[in-house]
Structure 1
Amino acid sequence: MKTSPPELRPVPARRSRGQAVLGGALIAVPLLLALLGPWFVGEPGPRGVSFTLGDGHWLGTDFIGRDVWRQVLLGGRSVVVTALVATALAYVIALPIGLAAALTHRPWVEEGLMRPWDVLLAIPSLLLLLIVATLFSPGPAGLALIVALINVPDALRIVRACAADAASRPAVEAMRMQGESWWRMAVGYVGRSITRVLTADAGVRLTGALYLVATAAFLGVGITPDAADWAVMVDRNRTGLFIQPWAVVVPALLIVALTTGTNLLFDAALARRAVRKGGPR
């Protein structure tokens, strides 16, 4: 007796809504603090030592007597903006190279476009950050460029692999025979075909960029040691964790909430799109 294969069920809409709500709640607080916090800091008050909540300091003071709440309000913009710029810059570099490698019929062109980036894959990202730190001291713009270059090889391989599958379809061959421009084939058809995969990868890439930016700040790369930055706060106050935990726990939780909420929002967006299109689970 033959049995029919089980039917693939779409992703439940309730689950995607739950992911969206949870992701939005997690990401709202760190984003609001990062974007709007510097507008509400006011003038710095006198430095003092306070390990308890209150005494004019909501979260106490850090290791040199600065108000922790004020540092939290000031410390998110550098992390968020640098990670967003680095992620966008990585795709600006990876997209045209990956599309060109996928659409070309000349193997030597594809090898010439892809193989040089494999050199960066052989170097661990943290080691590359340390090498850069020993050679020169990049500012926020330089740090964003370094993080983008670290993310380009992985993003490039994903773009090329997905675009190669789309470029092998009969529609692309028909467009070539009709004399369509490269821009129309690469961006108008192949680029639109890989949008969903790139959306999923963007969440992972942004999370990786946040991790690298926070690690760089923790190592003192691109950020001055006394800067108002969440990662710097964790690094500079970790020795007094059991005396004044708020200076470490609060910025660490904000970074974790930002990365986790980003992934949940991207997953929920992809799930809703699959449900609308009737896609499988």
Structure 2
Amino acid sequence: MKSRFALGAFIVGVPLVLALLGPLFAGEPGPRAASFTLGGGHLLGTDFTGRDVWREVLLGGRPVVLVALAATLLAYLVALPLGLISALTDRAWLEEVLMRPLDVLLAVPSLLTILLVASVLTPGPAGLALLVALVNIPDAARIVRAAAAEAASRPAVEALRMQGESWWRMAVGYVGRSIGRTLAADAGVRLTGVLYLVATAAFLGVGVAPDASDWAVMVDRNRTGLFVQPWAVVVPALLIVGLTMGGNLLFDALLDKRRRT
């Protein structure tokens, strides 16, 4: 378990450190060079537009990471109260009002929803985070509701009701703590899916300018020169993979540790 934790921390740590601290060391842009060159005073060569690939790598991770984290947090901020209310309410009509619209959203593929909205609006990074959060809310709310419904059926919750405890005490104090492990497992998988959606949307030009310093945009912008200048595609692609794979390993190791303690 320790080795898996260390491996996950290393795999996710490299791209995370580059994403958060990279812009501090990127420096000022130098003069444009010829496109798709190797060497020439540039650590990883130049990209399609003649920009230094290493500098673009240092600058390109922060948008991906911040948008993904913001989208995941926003999704849970809405999904948690919806799932808890649905699980703890004794009014069937309220559960129907809360959950049925989410089922409609769940039936539409996530990427299709993002592309449809983006065809009408032109979202920036904040808009992209809201869009990705929106398509993740239905599934997250259903998982919260399913886990909370099991906890809400326990005798302890009935005892709290009979004692006249507040809804907040039951929902957050008992049920919320009971579903913590389930939420932690879901958060690892969901963050991976969110990173995939954010990177795919950026790859397709949704929410990100075509010339932006962004890892996903770098892959799209430089793919035509993959066999001429592979670093401009391979390095950002590996960093995105490292974020998703390392995050899953890290969450799995943390869950194993909690299960054994």
TM category (shorter chain) comes to over 0.9
Is 1:262 the counterpart of 2:247 in the alignment?
Answer: yes
The structure 1 residue matched to 2:152, chosen from 163, 167, 181, is: 167
In 1: Cα distance, 2:48 partner to 2:230 partner: 11
Which amino acid in 1 is paired with 2:54?
W
Which amino acid in 1 is paired with 2:191?
L
Q: Which residue of 2 aligns with 1:54?
A: 39
In 2: Cα distance, 1:63 partner to 1:129 partner: 27
Following TM superposition, where does structure 1 have runs of at least 4 consecutive aligned residues deviating by more than 3 angstroms? 50-53
1:128-164 CA-to-partner distances (Å, cap 9, x unmatched) read 1211221011011110000001111111010000000
The structure 1 residue matched to 2:196, chosen from 211, 215, 218, is: 211
Q: Which residue of 1 aligns with 2:117?
A: 132
Q: Give yes or no for contact 1:60–1:68 (8 Å, CA) kept in 2.
A: yes
1:149-203 CA-to-partner distances (Å, cap 9, x unmatched) read 1111111010000000000001000100100000000000000000000000000
Which amino acid in 2 is paired with 1:232?
V
Q: Which residue of 1 aligns with 2:224?
A: 239
Give the 3-state SS of the residue equivalent to 1:228 in structure 2: coil
Q: Give yes or no for contact 2:8–2:250 (8 Å, CA) kept in 1.
A: yes
Which amino acid in 2 is paired with 1:171?
A
Within 5 A, what are the aligned runs for 1:111-126? Answer: 111-126=96-111
Q: Which residue of 2 aligns with 1:143?
A: 128
Give the 3-state SS of the residue equivalent to 1:81 in structure 2: helix
Q: How many residues matched? A: 261
Give the 3-state SS of the residue equivalent to 2:157 in structure 1: helix
Give the 3-state SS of the residue equivalent to 2:49 in structure 1: coil
Give the 3-state SS of the residue equivalent to 2:133 in structure 1: helix
Q: Give yes or no for contact 1:50–1:57 (8 Å, CA) kept in 2.
A: no
Within 5 A, what are the aligned runs for 1:64-213? Answer: 64-213=49-198
1:103-134 CA-to-partner distances (Å, cap 9, x unmatched) read 01111111111001111111111111211221
In 2: Cα distance, 1:48 partner to 1:210 partner: 32
Q: Which residue of 2 aligns with 1:12?
A: none
In 2: Cα distance, 1:160 partner to 1:22 partner: 33
Which amino acid in 2 is paired with 1:28?
G
Q: Give yes or no for contact 2:200–2:216 (8 Å, CA) kept in 1.
A: yes
Is 1:220 the counterpart of 2:188 in the alignment?
Answer: no
Q: Give yes or no for contact 1:72–1:251 (8 Å, CA) kept in 2.
A: yes
Q: Give yes or no for contact 1:62–1:244 (8 Å, CA) kept in 2.
A: yes
Which amino acid in 2 is paired with 1:83?
A
Is 1:24 the counterpart of 2:9 in the alignment?
Answer: yes
Give the 3-state SS of the residue equivalent to 2:199 in structure 1: helix
- Rg (Cα) greater in structure: 1
In 1: Cα distance, 2:198 partner to 2:175 partner: 32
In 2: Cα distance, 1:148 partner to 1:166 partner: 26
In 1: Cα distance, 2:117 partner to 2:234 partner: 29
The structure 1 residue matched to 2:22, chosen from 31, 37, 47, is: 37
Give the 3-state SS of the residue equivalent to 1:223 in structure 2: coil
Q: Give yes or no for contact 1:34–1:75 (8 Å, CA) kept in 2.
A: yes
Q: Give yes or no for contact 2:36–2:225 (8 Å, CA) kept in 1.
A: no
Q: Which residue of 1 aligns with 2:260?
A: 275
Q: Give yes or no for contact 2:35–2:48 (8 Å, CA) kept in 1.
A: no
Give the 3-state SS of the residue equivalent to 1:46 in structure 2: coil
TM-score where L is the length of structure 2: 0.98
More divergent stretch after superposition (166-175 vs 128-137): 128-137
List gaps (5 residues or longer) in structure 2.
Answer: none
Q: Give yes or no for contact 2:38–2:46 (8 Å, CA) kept in 1.
A: no
User: How much has 1:54 moved relative to structure 2?
Assistant: 2.8
In 2: Cα distance, 1:176 partner to 1:183 partner: 11
User: How much has 1:52 moved relative to structure 2?
Assistant: 5.3
User: How much has 1:49 moved relative to structure 2?
Assistant: 2.0
In 1: Cα distance, 2:192 partner to 2:23 partner: 23
List gaps (5 residues or longer) in structure 1.
Answer: 1-15, 277-281
User: How much has 1:238 moved relative to structure 2?
Assistant: 0.4
Between the two proteins, what is the percent identity of the paired residues?
A: 74
